[in-house]
């Protein structure tokens, strides 16, 4: 089976968050289980690894924007073929910009003809998030079967219909309310949802949540229909357990059991000049989605019982709020993303806070548990599916008070060293490997290939 993944980022070549991590781990595991796997992503200017150019030229692709001087690069690693599509729109430092709908429509239009030029014929396309949604629609027109994965429904790739429709290269009938049209805009997330044979999300709970008005981001009606048709499911993300292994982690003092965490805790305490109170760690994008405003609101109470170490960047208002707290003797804020420091926080903290308003899956809570650091999480999305009651501390309300109460429960439990150690040992024993999810995806691909393409109600020409 030849599986072709299409995504806007893939670790270690490009990464801004969990999407890149998934694309770095899932394809490699699929290759280990016998699939022939190709990953296609943009050839960003920042990619530092040596990529070999294998094709260059103009591509004949539908749409109003010509695709001239397209480059295709290749790198094979871990049994996976990585293809990078180079376009002028991506010849700038960084990954994401305000004109991304235009940029990623160009990328999506280039993917299938680029695959043809280098001799890759997919059995199944697996596209990820809105940046690859148009690839699903174009693939359907070419007779390909596709799986579309929603990593975060909040980001949908919307643009005004007048400009955006011409960029896509799709026929006029695709821009009905049943197709890509969404409140007068083109919606590239919706393109993936409508045209895919199967739609997945990155956790079972999130798959249920997005069929409700609270989490559906205006697409809940379509997602309810997909559920009734048997085309929406949730497959929980795994964790790269080789990359996140406390026994071999070069960024910390390696340890194999809870007792071994003590050296990492002492090092983190010394690094930030913290006192003897337990450490509550946070490694996060600073956004309201992640509940970072709730964390800031809870700091007056949290700092009575905890040292709080935060690593992250994002919303300037939240960054400013944390900088104000950085002068507090029990608060340390490191702005930006720093992977070695992230490892030190996961290993050295006692507990780990994730007060997310919604969380499609989340990897940080899995990493924390792998390092024996107990998560304090809001009951939503993948946090429900990964944090057992007997290990972590869960709360329902998206308020600073609810977070404070859960952290108070954790602090009381911390004083019972026998129970805390038992919870931490259980956390370190949990299996978050990619093997189970990978087998689920391979089974889903087989089902997609076993049935003829389903006609799309309300759309002509398919």
How far is Cα 358 from Cα 288, in angstroms, rounded to an integer? Answer: 10
SS3 for the chain is CEEEEECCCECCCECCCHHHHHHHHHHHHHHHCCCEEEEEEECCCCCCCCCEEEEEEEECCCCCCCEEEEEEEEEEECCEEEEEEECHHHCCCCCCCCCHHHHHHHHHHHHHHHHHHCCCCCCEEEEECHHHHHHHHHHHHCCCEEEEEECCCCCCCEEEHHHHHHHHCCCHHHHCCCCCEECCEEEHHHHHHHHCCEEEECCHHHHHHCCCCCCCCCCHHHHHHHHHCCCEEECCCCCCCCCCCCCCCCCCCCCCCHHHHHHHHHHHHHHHCCCCCCEEEEECCECHHHCHHHHHHHHHHHHHHCEEEEEECECHHHHHHHHHHCCCCCEEEEECCCHHHHHHHHHHCCEEEECCCCCCCCCHHHHHHHCCCEEEEECCHHHHHHCCCCCCEEECCCCHHHHHHHHHHHHHHHHCHHHHHHHHHHHHHCCCCCHHHHHHHHHHHHHHHHCCCCCCCCCCCC
How far is Cα 261 from Cα 93, in angstroms, rounded to an integer? Answer: 38
How far is Cα 63 from Cα 137, in angstroms, rounded to an integer? Answer: 13
Cβ atoms 41, 6 nearer than 8 A: yes
Does the annotation flag 231 for ligand binding?
A: no
Cβ atoms 336, 319 nearer than 8 A: no
Cβ atoms 82, 39 nearer than 8 A: yes
140 — phi, psi (to 5°)?
Answer: -65, -40
Summarize the annotated binding site for ADP-alpha-D-glucose as residue ranges: 15
Summarize the annotated binding site as residue ranges: 15
């Amino acid at each position: 089976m030849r599986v072709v993944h299409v995504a806007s980022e893939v670790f270690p070549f490009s990464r801004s968050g969990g999407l890149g991590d998934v694309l770095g781990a899932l394809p490699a595991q699929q290759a280990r289980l016998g699939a022939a796997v190709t990953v296609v992503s943009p050839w960003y200017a920042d990619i530092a690894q040596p990529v070999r150019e294998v094709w260059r030229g103009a591509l004949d692709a539908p749409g109003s924007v010509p695709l001239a001087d397209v480059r295709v690069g290749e790198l094979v690693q871990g049994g996976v073929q990585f293809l990078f599509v180079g376009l002028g729109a991506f010849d700038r430092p960084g990954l994401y910009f305000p004109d991304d709908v235009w940029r990623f429509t160009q990328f999506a239009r280039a993917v299938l003809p680029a695959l043809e030029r280098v001799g890759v014929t997919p059995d199944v396309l697996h596209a990820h998030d809105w940046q690859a949604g148009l690839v699903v629609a174009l693939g359907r027109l070419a007779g390909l079967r596709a799986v579309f994965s929603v990593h975060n429904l909040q980001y949908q790739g919307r643009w005004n219909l007048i400009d955006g429709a011409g960029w896509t290269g799709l026929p006029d009938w695709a821009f009905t309310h049943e197709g890509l049209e969404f409140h007068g805009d083109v919606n590239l997330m919706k393109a993936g949802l409508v045209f895919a044979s199967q739609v997945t999300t990155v956790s079972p709970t999130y798959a249920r949540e997005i069929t409700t008005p609270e989490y559906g981001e205006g697409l809940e009606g379509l997602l309810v229909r997909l559920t009734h048709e048997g085309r929406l499911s949730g497959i929980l993300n795994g964790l790269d357990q080789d990359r996140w292994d406390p026994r071999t982690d070069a960024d910390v003092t390696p340890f194999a059991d809870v007792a071994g965490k003590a050296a990492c805790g002492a090092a983190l305490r010394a690094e930030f000049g913290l006192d003897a109170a337990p450490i509550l760690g946070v490694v996060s994008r600073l956004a309201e989605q992640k509940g970072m405003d709730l964390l800031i609101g809870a700091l007056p109470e949290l700092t009575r019982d905890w040292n709080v170490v935060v690593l992250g960047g994002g919303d300037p208002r939240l960054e400013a709020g944390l900088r104000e707290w950085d002068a507090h003797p029990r608060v340390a804020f490191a702005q930006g993303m720093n992977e070695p420091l992230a490892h030190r926080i996961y290993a050295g903290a006692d507990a780990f806070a994730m007060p997310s308003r919604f969380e499609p899956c989340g990897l940080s809570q899995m990493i924390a548990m792998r390092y024996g650091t107990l998560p304090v999480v809001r009951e939503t999305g993948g946090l429900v599916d990964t944090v057992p009651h007997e290990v972590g501390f869960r709360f329902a309300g998206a308020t600073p008070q609810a977070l404070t109460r859960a952290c108070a429960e954790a602090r009381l439990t911390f004083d019972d060293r026998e129970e805390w150690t038992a919870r931490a040992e259980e956390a370190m024993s949990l299996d978050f490997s990619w093997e189970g999810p990978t087998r689920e995806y391979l089974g889903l691909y087989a089902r997609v290939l076993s049935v003829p393409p389903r006609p799309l109600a309300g759309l002509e020409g398919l």
